[in-house]
């Protein structure tokens, strides 16, 4: 079948629903200042779907730095890839400060988190190497392993026995090929909210002689002393060979970084295709991230406020009988029983009747018959936001149990 003909007939797992939910469930437009309350289709809503953990998106010092840097540099400078003509002293300053903060020798800034992880995994592995990774890892890890032309072994989520089993398989394969093993997992799993079992995995390094890569996108800024992440939280940061985080979560900005031994980081800077073939991160973003890092280091109260809100939300949900799974981070999932159709009706009711904006996840991301509403608390949220949200969950849950969302179409887009 001709390529475009196939695409027009088979729109993909998400695209097939574009005519039903675009602009509401997919590609929704939130307007106004980035905050705990924004405007959605002309109504104010409490927003639990924006990554702004420390509330820095509209911090006055951040806004001032961003604006002054944009005026000073524009968005073109530096022009070219870092390897060619895009190097600056401020890029190196940001890297040095990040490395020191997460207790590593060196760091390398990347333009975006997703391609940064994909490209780093690709650069670290050869055809003789094996990669062992958590089956529920973020798409950037999954896609990075897909590029690998050696062997791949996925272990059951946070299951140490499955980790050991797959390390045994990987060791047998690499012993025959003369290669090495890379274990990859997340510091915090962004849907479930549970931390990766970093300390348990790190304890196996001596026996299996592997290198350890941790994507800590949701842990950096939210866990560990000084927001240093899940490795510091669990007391195993020294055992993480390549530490990654994005600027898109706690910093509410663009970019990310990798940190580790100086010679390995230098190798990645010369080998990561996502960086050597891409324009350098623009100067206003670099200056803006320097300011964000400074604020995170000097204001531990931002992290404290985040956790205060997150624990109030989680405790309130549990007291009202809601299942929030095994989260041990600020990421707050709520698991309900229902169909995808009921999920769309429930989310519409929550937004329109109760002014609460959450993101929904249904099958095939989670098992059939389940609905997951994932919430991202921030330091900008208030007790009022939490109370309104808890009341909304109680109301829609009662309707869901009563079958009110089974047949009645609340959202005219679905009629």
DSSP codes, 93-157: HHHHHHHHHTT-SEEEEES-HHHHHHHHHHHH--TT-EEEEETT--HHHHHHHHT-SSEEEEEPT
* pLDDT confidence of residue 14: 73
- Do 194 and 103 share a domain, yes or no? yes
Check residue 39 and report its DSSP letter: E
Q: How far apart are CA 140 and CA 187, in angstroms?
A: 14
Q: How far apart are CA 141 and CA 152, in angstroms?
A: 12
CB 252 within 8 A of CB 56: yes
Give the residue-averaged pLDDT of 256-284: 95
Question: What pTM, to 2 d.p., does this model score?
Answer: 0.94
Domain boundary among 232, 267, 298: 298
**What pLDDT digit, counting tens, does each position of 100-118 carry?**
999 999 999 999 999 999 9
Tokens read off for 370: 């389940």
Check residue 237 and report its DSSP letter: G
- Do 321 and 288 share a domain, yes or no? no
Number of domain units in the chain = 2
- Do 264 and 313 share a domain, yes or no? no
Tokens read off for 413: 């887009």
The confidence band for 26, taking pLDDT boundaries of 50, 70 and 90, is confident
Domain boundary among 276, 298, 320: 298
Q: How many CB atoms lie within 10 A of CB 55?
A: 22
- Do 144 and 155 share a domain, yes or no? yes
List the one residue out of 223, 283, 286, 228 whose CA is nearest residue 103: 228
**What pLDDT digit, counting tens, does each position of 288-337 carry?**
999 999 999 999 999 999 999 999 999 999 999 999 999 999 999 999 99
Give the residue-averaged pLDDT of 341-367: 88
Residue ranges with strand state E in 233-355 = 242-246, 256-260, 332-337
Residue 27 is part of which domain span? Answer: 3-53+300-414
**What pLDDT digit, counting tens, does each position of 90-103 carry?**
999 999 999 999 99
* pLDDT confidence of residue 389: 98
Q: What is the domain-level CATH number for residue 109?
A: 3.40.640.10
Give the residue-averaged pLDDT of 231-235: 98
**Does any domain span residue 59?**
no
User: How would DSSP label each residue in 338-398?
Assistant: --HHHHHHHHHHHHHHH-EE-EEE-TTTS-TTEEEEEE---TT--HHHHHHHHHHHHHHHH
- Do 260 and 130 share a domain, yes or no? yes
CB 208 within 8 A of CB 175: no
């Amino acid at each position: 079948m001709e390529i475009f003909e196939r695409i027009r007939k088979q729109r993909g797992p998400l695209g097939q629903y574009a005519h039903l939910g675009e602009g509401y469930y997919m590609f929704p437009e939130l307007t106004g200042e980035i905050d705990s309350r924004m405007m959605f289709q002309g109504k104010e809503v409490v927003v639990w779907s924006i990554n702004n953990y420390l509330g820095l998106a509209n911090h006055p010092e951040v806004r001032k730095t961003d604006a002054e840097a944009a005026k000073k540099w524009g968005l073109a400078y530096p022009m070219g890839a870092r390897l060619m003509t895009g190097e600056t002293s401020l890029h190196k300053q940001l890297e040095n400060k990040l490395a020191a903060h997460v207790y590593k020798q060196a760091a390398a800034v990347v333009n975006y988190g997703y391609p940064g992880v994909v490209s780093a995994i690709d650069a670290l592995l050869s055809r003789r190497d094996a990669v062992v990774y958590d089956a529920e890892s973020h798409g950037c890890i999954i896609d990075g392993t897909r590029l690998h032309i050696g062997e791949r072994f996925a272990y059951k989520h946070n299951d140490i026995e499955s980790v050991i089993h797959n390390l045994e398989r990987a060791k047998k394969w690499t012993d025959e090929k003369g290669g090495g093993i890379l274990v990859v997992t997340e510091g915090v799993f962004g849907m479930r909210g549970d931390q990766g079992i970093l300390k348990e995995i790190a304890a196996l390094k001596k026996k299996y002689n592997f290198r350890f890569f941790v994507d800590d996108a949701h842990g950096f800024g939210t866990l560990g002393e000084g927001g240093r992440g899940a490795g510091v939280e669990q007391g195993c940061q020294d055992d993480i060979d390549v530490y990654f985080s994005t600027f898109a979560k706690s910093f509410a900005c663009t970019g990310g970084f990798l940190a580790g031994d100086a010679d390995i980081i230098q190798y990645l800077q010369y080998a990561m295709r996502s960086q050597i073939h891409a324009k350098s991160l623009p100067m206003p973003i670099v200056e803006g991230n320097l300011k964000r890092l400074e604020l995170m280091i000097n204001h531990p109260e931002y992290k404290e406020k985040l956790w205060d809100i997150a624990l109030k939300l989680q405790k309130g949900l549990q007291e009202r009988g809601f299942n929030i799974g095994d989260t041990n981070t600020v990421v707050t999932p709520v698991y309900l029983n229902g169909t995808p159709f009921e999920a769309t009706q429930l989310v519409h009711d929550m937004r329109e009747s109760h002014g609460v904006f959450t993101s929904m996840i249904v099958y095939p991301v989670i098992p059939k018959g389940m609905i997951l509403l994932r919430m991202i608390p921030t330091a900008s949220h208030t007790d009022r936001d939490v109370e309104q949200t808890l009341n909304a969950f109680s109301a829609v849950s009662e309707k869901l149990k009563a079958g009110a969302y089974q047949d009645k179409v609340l959202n005219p887009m679905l009629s």
